[in-house]
């Protein structure tokens, strides 16, 4: 069965520092890959997605993610975080064919300190 | 822009009550989903629907049912609410396979408390 692991439950970084959130997946084939962000009290918003092609994908709000097939990873990065990036981040995988079920990781909560 | 609305942001119900959570989308998407979100567990799929009157169980359907009588509306029903169903419930929609951008669009969520 497919699974998504986000090993960091909570990360704290200083404003202006770089950020990397980890995501590893277990899947029978190369899936579609997503990162979503959830601000407090809000629904989920798509940051970026990977379907095929260039393994470094750019998203909204200055985020990027790199797909590494050999490591089954899809880590999210940002070179310089802003206080408004404080939120919970979810990695998700979905099938290229068949039903539309997405499998989500357990999330990483990001705290920004001044 | 896709708009997904959920009938309530906060809801408090008593144990044993029948609870209806409503989700409405305005983008003519065929696929709709209900998730529950709990700390440390992420999002777990309860049910999804790929057409009117069509539904499939997700990972945790026990204690829930759904209804989709119109394309734009997908309802989650708790037949007899229990305290372990206290959670955040999120609705999502998307285009069917091979169409659109494959993104799931989420509503703002309903935080349900069962006392």
At a CB cut-off of 8 Å and minimum separation 6, what does B41 contact? A106
- For residue B97, give both structure tokens: 């396979």
Q: Which pLDDT score is estimated for B98? A: 67
- In angstroms, what separates the C-alpha of B81 from chain A's closest C-alpha? 23
- In angstroms, what separates the C-alpha of B106 from chain A's closest C-alpha? 6
Q: How far is the C-alpha of B95 from the C-alpha of A23, rounded, in Å?
A: 25
**Helical ranges in chain A per DSSP H:** none
Q: How far is the C-alpha of B33 from the C-alpha of B48, rounded, in Å?
A: 4
Tens digit of each residue's pLDDT (9 = 90 or more) over A58-73: 999 999 999 999 999 9
Which chain B residues have a beta carbon less than 8 Å from that of A94?
102
Q: How far is the C-alpha of B95 from the C-alpha of A110, rounded, in Å?
A: 30
DSSP annotation of A52: S
Among chain B residues, CA nearest to A104:
B43
C-alpha Rg value of chain A to the nearest Å: 14
How far does chain B reach from its first CA to its final CA, in angstroms? 37
Q: Which residue has the tokens 């440390």?
A: B40
A100 and B40 within 8 Å at the Cβ level: the answer is no
pLDDT band at B30 (very low <50, low <70, confident <90, very high): confident
Residue B86 has pLDDT above 80, yes or no: yes
Q: Using a CB–CB cutoff of 8 Å, tell me whether B32 touches chain A.
A: no
Tens digit of each residue's pLDDT (9 = 90 or more) over A17-58: 999 999 999 987 778 899 999 998 888 999 999 988 889 999
DSSP E strands in B14-83: the ranges are 19-25, 31-38, 42-51, 54-57, 65-70, 73-78
Mean pLDDT of chain A: 92
Lowest mean pLDDT among A18-27, A89-98, B19-28, B69-78: A89-98
């Amino acid at each position: 069965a497919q699974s998504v692991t986000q090993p960091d439950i909570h990360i704290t970084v200083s404003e202006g520092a770089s950020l990397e959130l980890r995501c590893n997946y277990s899947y029978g084939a190369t899936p579609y890959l997503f990162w979503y962000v959830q601000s407090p009290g809000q629904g989920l918003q798509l940051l970026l997605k990977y379907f095929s092609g260039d393994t470094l994908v750019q998203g909204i709000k200055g985020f990027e993610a790199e797909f590494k097939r050999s490591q089954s990873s899809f880590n999210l990065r940002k070179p310089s975080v802003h206080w408004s990036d404080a939120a919970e981040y979810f990695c998700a995988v979905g099938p290229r064919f068949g039903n539309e079920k997405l499998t989500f990781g357990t999330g990483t909560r990001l705290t920004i300190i001044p | 822009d896709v708009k997904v609305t959920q009938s309530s942001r906060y809801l408090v119900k008593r144990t044993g009550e029948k609870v209806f959570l409503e989700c409405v989308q305005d983008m003519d998407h065929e696929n709709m989903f209900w998730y529950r979100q709990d700390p440390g567990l992420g999002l777990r799929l309860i049910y999804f629907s790929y057409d009117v009157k069509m539904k499939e169980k997700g990972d945790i359907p026990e204690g829930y049912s759904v209804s989709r009588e119109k394309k734009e509306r997908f309802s989650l029903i708790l037949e007899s609410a229990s305290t372990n169903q206290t959670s955040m419930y999120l609705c999502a929609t998307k285009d069917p396979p091979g169409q659109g951008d494959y993104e799931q669009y989420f509503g703002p969520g309903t935080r349900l408390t069962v006392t």
